[in-house]
Amino acid sequence: MTRLFLITFLFFALTSCKNSSRAEITETEKQKDSLTAEIKDICKNGVFNGFAVSIVNDKGTLYQKGFGFSDIKSQKKYTDSTIQNIASISKTFVGLALLKAQELGKLKLDDPINKYLPFKVVNPNFPTNVITIRHLATHTSSIVDNEFYLTKNYFLKENQDLNGMNLVFDETQAFNPKDSVVSMEMFLSNLLSEKGKWNIKEIYSKNEPGNIYEYSNIGTTLAALVIEKATGEKFDEFTTKHILKPLKMNASGWHFEDIDFAHYSKLYENPQKVLPFYSMVSYPDGNFITSINDLSLYLTELIKGYNGNGTILSKESFKEYFKPQLKAKNFIDRNVKNPFSESYNVGIFMGFGYTGYIGHTGGDPGVSSMMFFDPKNNIGRILIINTSFSDKIGNDTFYGIWNKLEKYQTKLTN
C-alpha cells in the first residue's frame, strides 16, 4: 500500500508541475503576442520601413522580433536575422577591445597615444600636454569632428545601381566612390597630423586634454588605430577573435565582405527614398554590422559582465569598463533630460544616462539605434531602425516602441 501511494503521489505531482509549466509558457506567449500587437499598432503611421527590437536579461533573450520590411520594393520582411550597420553603438566594442588589449599586456589606458601612433598627435593649443588612451575612451582628448569627417568618411559599396540616388545626405554627409577611399591610418593622419591636408583649426578644441567631455568619432577611430599598433593586429580581426567568435555572433562583422549580404537591409533617407549601400573609413566608430539576434547575445554578455560574470573580459576589466570616469566639472552641457542619452557620464566608450541606464545610442544615414540596460533589474532593451527621421512623429514613434518594450519587460521575466 505504501509503495502504491507513493507512485500515485508522484504521478499527480509531476502532472501538476507539467500543467503549471504549460500555463507559464502560455502566459508568456500571450504577453509576447500582446507586445507584438501593440508595436504593430504604433507603426501604422509608416514612418519606419523596417526595424527590430529585443528584450534581454543576464540569462538570455526574452523577446526579439523584426517588423516591417528590409526592402520596400520587393516587400522583403525585416526579421530577427536581418542585418544592418548600427552606428555609434559600435563604439562600445572599441572599449572592450581596449581593455582586452590591456589584459594581454599590449597597452595601458593611461599611456600616451603617441607611444603607439606612426604620426604625432598634439593639440596645438596645448603643445606640451599629453593625450592618453583614456582621454580618447572618455571623449576628453580635445580631438573633435570637423567637416572632413562627414565629407570624406562615407564611401559607396561597389557594384550597386546608383540610378536616381542622391549621393549627399542631409546636405553635409557625402557618399564617396570606392576608388577614392584612403586607409583608416591615412584618413586619421590627414586629419590629425600637423601637416595633414585635412587638418584645419576645428579638429582640436580650445579645451585642455583630459578636462572636458566632447563627443568624438575621430577620437574613437584613433583609439582603434592605437589598438592595431599596440597589438600588431587589425582592429576588425582583433575584435572578431576576442569578442564576436567567443559570443557566437556569427552573423556580424565590420565590412560587407564579413557578412552574408543577402540578409542586409536597405537603408532609407525617408520611407520613400532608398539610400545607397555605404561603409565608413572610420568603421570602428559606427559601422558594426549585426542582427538583433547577435546584438542580443552581446547585450546579455554586457549585463553579465557588469555583474562580474562576463566571459570575454576579466572581472577587473569589466569593472573598469563600467566605471563612471568623469565628474560634473568635465561637462559644459550635461544631459539631464533624456535618460537614454549616453552623455551624462562615460565608462570606457560605454555611456551612462542620468538616471543610471547603461548603454549607447547611434545614428547614421538611414540608421537609428539604441541599446541600454538597467543595472537595478538586469534587463536590457535594443531597437534598430533602417529609416532616418528628424521630426516629432518619428521621435514619438521611436520612443513609443521603446516604451512598449519597457512596459512588457517585467511581464516576460515573471
Q: Which 3-state string (H, E, C) describes 315-374? A: HHHHHHHCCCCCCHHHCCCCCCCCCCCCECEECCCCEECCCCCEEEEEEECCEEEEEEEE
Contacts of 320 (CB under 8 A, 6+ apart): 99, 109, 347, 348
pLDDT digits (tens, 9 = 90+) for 24-38: 568 889 999 999 999
Average pLDDT (45-67) is 97
Distance CA 83, CA 394 (A): 22
pLDDT at 403 over 90: yes
Give the three cell numbers for residue 352: 551612462
At residue 153, what is the residue type? N
pLDDT attached to residue 12: 47
Work out the mean pLDDT of the chain and round it to a whole number: 92
Average pLDDT (105-121) is 98
pLDDT digits (tens, 9 = 90+) for 132-191: 999 999 999 999 998 888 888 999 998 888 887 777 776 677 888 888 889 999 999 999
C-alpha distance from residue 76 to each of 16, 73, 161 (Å): 44, 8, 18
- CB contact at 8 A, 91 and 75: no
pLDDT at 8 over 50: no
Residue extents of the structural domains in the chain? 45-409
pLDDT attached to residue 4: 45
Number of H-type helices and E-type strands within the chain: 10, 16
pLDDT at 413 over 70: yes
Beta strands 154-156 and 173-176 are parallel
Contacts of 411 (CB under 8 A, 6+ apart): 31
DSSP designation for 247: T
In DSSP notation, 44-74 reads GG---SEEEEEEEETTEEEEEEEEEEEETTT
- CB contact at 8 A, 125 and 204: yes
pLDDT at 7 over 90: no
pLDDT band, residue 200 (cuts 50/70/90):
confident
Distance CA 277, CA 159 (A): 10
CATH of domain 45-409: 3.40.710.10
- CB contact at 8 A, 70 and 76: yes
